[in-house]
């Protein structure tokens, strides 16, 4: 069974912000002739990388709620120019919206077991995909989502 990761999406106010940022970075790579792939750089290398790359996703916490995820394609450890070990989490650029799940702030990333992960919005029959993001936020704050 695949293992997931959980990370704060710092600097994004919404899933739409994240999608715009991804599109901008991929276009920038195309223009510069670089490989067109999206990755997130993190300091710590997951020790359970094989479980994560076996179908796991990176779940993004935006404004104190898990709101979306991206499938993790690969995990590539490397050493930066200052000699510090880091890691690229290579992500599928498609963002999948999920049910909102409240989360407190934390540093770094956390493992997220599949049974603790929120469902994709498309996997439910509740019709949440049609509900505007602001209304979903308010409903989640009230504990109704």
pLDDT tens, residue by residue, 8-62: 999 999 999 999 999 999 999 999 999 999 999 999 999 999 999 999 999 999 9
Residue 103's pLDDT is 92
Rounded CA separation 132/126 (Å): 14
Mean pLDDT of the chain: 89
16 in helix, strand or coil?
helix
What are the phi and psi torsion angles at 131 (to 5°)?
A: -80, 130
Which own/partner contact pairs does 128-131 have at CB distance under 8 Å and 24+ positions apart?
Answer: 128/99, 129/97
Higher pLDDT, 24 or 125: 24
Q: What do you get for the CA distance between the two ends of the chain, in Å?
A: 26
Report long-range pairs for 124-128 (Cβ below 8 Å, ≥24 apart): 124/99, 128/99
Would the pTM count as exceeding 0.95? no
pLDDT band at residue 129 using 50, 70 and 90 as cut-offs: low
The Cα 72–Cα 90 span in angstroms is: 6
Number of domains in the chain: 1
Residue 1 clears pLDDT 90, i.e. is over it = no
Residue 35 is part of which domain span?
Answer: 4-141
């Amino acid at each position: 069974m695949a293992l997931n990761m959980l990370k704060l999406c710092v600097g994004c106010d919404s899933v739409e912000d994240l999608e715009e940022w991804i599109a901008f970075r991929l276009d920038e790579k195309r223009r510069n002739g670089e490989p067109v792939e999206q990755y997130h750089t993190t300091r710590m290398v997951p020790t359970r990388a094989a479980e994560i790359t076996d179908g796991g996703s990176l779940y993004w916490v935006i404004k104190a709620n898990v709101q979306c995820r991206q499938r993790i394609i690969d995990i590539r450890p490397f050493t930066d120019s200052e000699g510090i070990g880091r890691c690229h989490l290579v992500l599928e650029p498609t963002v999948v919206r999920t049910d909102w799940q409240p989360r407190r702030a934390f540093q770094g990333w956390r493992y997220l077991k599949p049974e603790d992960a929120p469902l994709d919005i498309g996997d439910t029959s509740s019709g949440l995909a049609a509900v505007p993001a602001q209304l979903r936020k308010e409903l989640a704050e009230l504990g109704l989502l």
